[in-house]
Copies of this chain bind each other. A is one copy, B any other.
């Protein structure tokens, strides 16, 4: 299979598409811009959901579900919001199909035309805040800490599997608070949840901080984000957390009586991550052999490939393999794996040769492969192969069967930590402080990466830089040091560097 995967150095976009295909993660559907998420891809998303959902619940949130449809006039209420989302949305206008005039095929029944069009939710602030109006009367009804797992639709013209699709799956948190401070703390808290998830589960280091005005969510006072660097040195916005102020409370009339009996508008946040994160995992860790999965998000942790020629060898080897599998399933990693078991598969398919199996599981990114044959059995040992270090470098020979499960438990943690460290080093090695406009223009093309540069803080400069270089401000990082400087484009004063990159 590996020969079906274009090397990253040859063409990164082709490499990505090949990995998504060969690892069985997703494919384009016959519906414009919509993807089919295949079982292996969906299993990774399920792992992500479980981990995030637990983190949301541990921070006091509960799940709920709101309608797929947004009445047109809801969208019209918030000026920036409509500007941001009305341009690319799926509009429902009829509720029935009937036989066409030629007797063949179906057409929308004119009699079923809706009085008001419905838009498929591109995001749910409007319908949720319209509902909150009835839920909030007193400060005692606050905070509301809700999350929703669902599908959303944004009519994208140029799509790419997982990274940008017309329909995608996501979660959207929507909270309502009695005070500005509480809401801002919430927005920051959820950003921290996203950072923790990205770094500790996806093994993907991220920068955190507010977006500049030009990159803000339509309707937000400010947007916080996590930003990662992919292997082609382009940035991926991996999650956002918005402080919405009182904008939605105002247009949907969400008022409450505070402790003094005064009527106040509620304060809002919203925050979301999507199936785009699956693309982030692929692009952060994948190699020319295929997918590489961080163990905490792997649907399958260990595959045992039995090796034998004669039928009598088969029985002994399979028996030893099953014994080892049982031992691995019992290693004490439950908490680390979000209270789910270590998943082990003995690949006992007779119609395939071991080499074929090695390649298949390699392409699918399984963290550890165990090889077990008659010669290993004679020595009561096995071979362990790490997916994150292909070839001989990642092989441990002659590992005693009695200690193999324990060693695998250690290895899973080592791999998780190693992937993060490797990605962090890559990110840092591809981050530059640039101090002039010429340097900026040169570096953004080659080598690319995160360019830390001074900026005068104006929308105009931001737009000019984007127009000339296709680089955008990824965030104003919380991680930056205070440092006076001059804007690379205009020379106007700046308080600190912001991070530019070309982005997905």
Contact = CB atoms under 8 A, between A and B. Distances in A.
Nearest to A91: B94
Given A36-B131, A150-B151, A339-B339, A93 B95 contact: no
Interface in A227-243: none
**Which interface class (under 10, 10 to 19, 20 to 34, 35 or more) fits A?**
35 or more
Contacts of A351: 140
Interface in A25-44: 27, 29-31, 34-39, 42-43
Contact of A92 (B70, B91, B131, B169): B91
Given A30-B71, A96-B155, A37 B65 contact: yes
A106 B72 contact: yes
Given A91-B94, A91-B95, A155-B95, A167 B62 contact: no
A66 B35 CA distance: 7
A341 to B, nearest CB: 9
Given A88-B96, A96-B88, A96-B155, A64 B38 contact: yes
A31 B130 CA distance: 11
Given A73-B105, A75-B97, A90-B95, A63 B34 contact: no
A118 B90 CA distance: 9
A333 to B, nearest CB: 15
Nearest to A144: B39
A97 B86 contact: yes
A46 interface: yes
Nearest to A340: B339
Interface string A92-118: 111111100000011110001000011
Interface of A is mostly: mixed
A176 B363 CA distance: 25
A31 B67 contact: yes
Contacts of A412: none
A119 interface: yes
A69 interface: yes
Interface in A1-57: 27, 29-31, 34-39, 42-43, 45-46
A207 interface: no
A131 B76 CA distance: 37
Contacts of A106: 72, 75-76, 82, 86
15 contacts: A30-B71, A30-B127, A31-B67, A36-B131, A69-B90, A72-B97, A76-B105, A82-B106, A87-B96, A89-B95, A91-B92, A92-B93, A92-B120, A93-B94, A96-B155
Given A87-B96, A90-B118, A151-B151, 10 more contacts: A31-B69, A34-B68, A37-B64, A42-B65, A68-B120, A72-B97, A75-B106, A82-B106, A93-B108, A108-B117
